[in-house]
Amino acid sequence: MCSGGATPLVDVGDIRREAVDGRRRRRRLAPPLPSTNRFLKIGNGVYPELDSMGKPLEWLRERAILTPKNDQAPLINDLLLESFQGKEIVYYSIDTVVNTEEAVHYPVEFLNTINPSGLSYPKLSLRVDTPVMLFRNIKPPKLFNGTRRQVKVLHRNLVEATILTGPHQGEIVFVPLIPLIPNDLPFEFKRFQFP
């Protein structure tokens, strides 16, 4: 058994314990950053000098930001998207209730607020050259969950991209809007969006 070995691990973070007059006190080392600043700092650390275009595919291949919570992803995406040049294209999902008799109980405005796990957000903003990750198996082994791509052309209902990782890296792929149906809700609804 370690004597006192775990204590430093407990003290890791933005709070430190200090022995003062034989008692332990908690002292905050620095005020926590607002989440926007924290995410911007992470983004700048992973993608330094993102605004200088002409980054090679190898540079993008080596970088990714994964979030522990789905609700953090849109904020990080929006912050990083501002660093890319070019016109921002916004894609809105088409949300419908599968059973048309239940549609009166679930208006589109409500469906647009639902963000179940594994489902794309109702609003997706993209620019050419942005790196994106696929969250559905579309056409394994080429297009599967986790495939990272770089956007090349943004069409109305289709995104043309270059695969960044894996055995098919460098290949151009076309990802369409697809119907996504979550199975963890008390009713069935369908979201047409890019996966």
Q: What is the pLDDT of residues 2-42, one digit of tens each?
A: 444 333 333 433 344 444 455 555 554 444 545 667 777 87
- 177 has a pLDDT exceeding 80: yes
Per-residue pLDDT tens digits for 77-92 = 888 888 888 899 999 9
- 100 has a pLDDT exceeding 70: yes
- 182 has a pLDDT exceeding 80: yes
φ, ψ of residue 111 to 5 degrees: the values are -60, -35
56 secondary structure, DSSP code: -
pLDDT of residue 83: 80
Task: Report the mean per-residue pLDDT for the chain.
Answer: 79
Higher-pLDDT residue of 170, 76:
170
Reported for 101-110, long-range contacts at CB under 8 A and 24+ positions apart, including other chains, are 102/187, 105/187, 106/187, 106/189
Candidate from 69-83, 91-105, 115-129 with smallest mean pLDDT: 69-83
- 112 has a pLDDT exceeding 60: yes
Integer Cα distance of 133 and 147 in angstroms: 6
Candidate from 27-31, 136-140, 166-170 with smallest mean pLDDT: 27-31
Integer Cα distance of 103 and 68 in angstroms: 33
Candidate from 45-49, 50-54, 80-84, 125-129 with smallest mean pLDDT: 50-54
**Helix intervals (H) in 62-117:** 73-81, 108-111
Cite the beta strand spans of 66-133 per DSSP E: 89-92, 94-97, 123-126, 131-133
**Helix intervals (H) in the chain:** 7-10, 35-46, 57-61, 73-81, 108-111
